[in-house]
Amino acid sequence: MSETVTVNSRMKYPEILEKIGHLGELRVAKIYVKNDVMTVEFRQRTFGEWVKETFSKNDTLALTARVEVLKALEPLMQKSKYSDQLLQNARDRVAHNVGISGRSLRRDYRPVQKKKKPMPLRGGTVAAISKGNSIQLVEADPAKIKCAHAVLRTSTAIAEATRHPNCSQLKQKLEKFQQDKPSGTHTRDQPVPVGIIKDPIPVNLAATSWTCITDLKLPELQGNKATISPETLAELLKASVKNQQGAVVIEVIRDRYEERFSDELQKPVGKYSCTPEGLLTQLETARALVEEAKKSKRDLVITFASKDNSVLTQMKLIDQQIP
């Protein structure tokens, strides 16, 4: 008979780990709620269960048991610091047909004990922080971060939608949106208007919804450079994050576009970049949005994400200089 360990929702997560952290793959022996307190009795999977699940033709046996463990753990982990990533790691294990053990939960929590963020699993999903009011910088693909809402360049959203067969209609909508030229007069000296889908798009991928901003275009008149003014950039972010709460991921907006002729390719080649003014505007706007949410007692954590570490390093240096 395997050992049974009892924990409840009144316990802090480190206390729960002290009790279950030595166990192998977990199973739920019993779960019940009394006086608004959830009590769970965990035990370790037996050798007989391992044999039955491994060699059975019924592939759902192990999955059903693992999902039951995950559902029991979710309310117990919610109060923990960095619970978003800790929960995501547990979900990723189940999604990849791997069991949740007490030892793996304890291993995930070790960075938190050292006052660091827990790491995602190798090949797993990065989860944005959803509790509190703060600004985070993360080196990751912004379209693949688990969050409530993501603000993406349209080209990034199209690329992500292309990866999923059930997003063909969304892809077509985004392509049409990107092709439609923003209204307004274009001159060499004026910033180019940038369009935005203001109503969040439900996607149910890594993010629950998206707001998409058209990629910067060249002026219709002559010229090889285009920029987004700080005023326009601030308005884009405000419109994109309006009424959002919890974990919001923003793809760092590259506010300058320049074309140069390539002798090797024998054609103009475009390049997007971030200006210091643009990065400062994004940080200041995010700070104002977070502060506004804090005053209204609403959780809002804005995570700026990019796959380019140099952009995040530049952003971090600028952030340190803001009083």
Same-domain status, 78 and 157: no
Domains of the chain: total: 2
For residue 76, pLDDT beyond 60? yes
pLDDT at 245 over 70: yes
Task: Give the pLDDT confidence score for residue 300 in this predicted structure.
Answer: 96
168 and 22 co-located in one domain? no
Contacts of 87 (CB under 8 A, 6+ apart): 73, 74, 77, 78, 127
CA 308, 141, 150: angle at the middle one, nearest 5?
A: 120
Residue 126 located in a structural domain: no
**β-strands 201-202, 207-213: how paired?**
antiparallel
The verdict on 101 and 138 lying in the same domain is no
Residue with tokens 């005053």: 295
Q: What is the pLDDT of residues 36-57, one digit of tens each?
A: 999 999 999 999 988 888 887 7
> Residue 176 — pLDDT band, cuts 50, 70, 90?
confident
Q: Which domain holds residue 150?
A: 133-321
∠ Cα 228 234 240 (to 5°):
105
* 185 pLDDT tier (thresholds 50, 70, 90): very low
Residue (of 40, 13, 9, 17) closest to 104 by Cα position: 17
Q: Which CATH number belongs to the domain containing residue 240 in this structure?
A: 3.40.220
Q: Are residues 160 and 257 in the same domain?
A: yes
Same domain, 251 and 300: yes
Cα dihedral: 161, 163, 165, 168 (round 10): 30
pLDDT for the residue numbered 256: 86
The torsion region of residue 5 among left (phi > 0), alpha (psi -120 to 50) and beta comes to beta
Round the average pLDDT of the chain to a whole number and report it.
87
pLDDT tens, residue by residue, 270-316 = 788 899 999 999 999 999 999 999 999 999 999 999 999 999 999 99
8 A C-beta contact, residue 202 and residue 209: yes
Phi and psi for 224 in degrees, rounded to 5?
A: -120, 10
**142 and 100: one domain?**
no
User: 86 and 220: one domain?
Assistant: no
Give the domain-ending residue among 85, 113, 141. Answer: 113
> Which residues are within 8 A (CB) of 286 and not within 5 positions of it... i.e. 6 or more apart?
135, 237, 241, 250, 302, 304
Q: Which range has the worst mean pLDDT, 80-89, 164-173, 185-194, 261-270?
A: 185-194
| Sign for the pseudo-dihedral over CA of 53, 56, 60, 64 | negative
Domain contains 118:
no
The confidence band for 198, taking pLDDT boundaries of 50, 70 and 90, is low
CA atoms of 232 and 255, how far apart (whole Å): 10
Higher pLDDT, 172 or 261: 172
- Where is average pLDDT lowest: 21-30, 32-41, 200-209, 272-281? 200-209
Q: Which residue has the tokens 């007490």?
A: 102
Q: 87 and 153 share a domain?
A: no
Question: What token pair was written down for 303?
Answer: 């995570």
Asked whether residue 154 carries a pLDDT value surpassing 50, the answer given is: yes
